[in-house]
Amino acid sequence: MAPNEGQPAKASKTQKTVLIGLIVLVVLLVGAYAGMHYTSRPQFCTSCHEIAPQVASWEKGPHKTVECLNCHAAPGNIGYIVRKVSSYKELYLHFTHQVPAQIAWTPHIDACLYCHSGKDSAYPNAKNITLAPGSAPNAPPISHQPMISGNVNCISCHGNVGHASTSTTTQ
């Protein structure tokens, strides 16, 4: 009888290295995923003094139950990841004390349309701009079809809807 017969085969050094590498990769991916979600919370955003006024105005506005990246990123996983990667520029500006006096952002029309066309199941009561005016409780008061077709920026009419202005809390 051979010396190793009836014994389980020992894993080769390569197999052990691959297994350890896969475990490390899974831990890193889970950590990155958790970190991305943790840093997307409004509470994290307020940890920087320069964004605190925007978060305070968001808390008073009609979108106060909508998470930041639902509006500040293109819809979907790719939009989320692209926005998170681009936030490194903001971190750099914060830690090098180069934050501009006016913080500007570009609205993502696709994010508005995703939620307000009934595609986002997380917000079933959101105004659905694809509905005819008055046809349902969540239908808008006027037709938005020209805006949808022309890809008009939602912010041109709804400038303070995500963050309440100082004079009003809704729009």
Query: Residues annotated in the binding site, as ranges?
Result: 45, 48, 63, 68, 71-72, 90, 154, 157-158, 163
* CA dihedral sign of residues 119, 61, 109, 74: negative
**CA gap 83, 74 in Å, rounded:** 8
List pLDDT tens digits, range 136-163.
999 999 888 877 876 677 888 887 787 7
**Domains of the chain, each with CATH number or no CATH:** 19-156 (1.10.3820.10)
Query: Residues annotated in the binding site for heme, as ranges?
Result: 45, 48, 63, 68, 71-72, 90, 154, 157-158, 163
Rounded to the nearest angstrom, the gap between the alpha carbon of residue 131 and the centroid of all alpha carbons in its chain is 26
Where do runs of H (alpha helix) occur along the chain?
13-38, 42-45, 52-60, 68-72, 76-95, 109-115, 145-150
Nearest alpha-carbon partner for 67 in 157, 161, 162, 1: 162
**Matching residue, tokens 């930041």:** 68
List pLDDT tens digits, range 47-105.
877 888 888 888 888 888 888 888 888 888 899 889 888 888 888 998 899 988 887 77
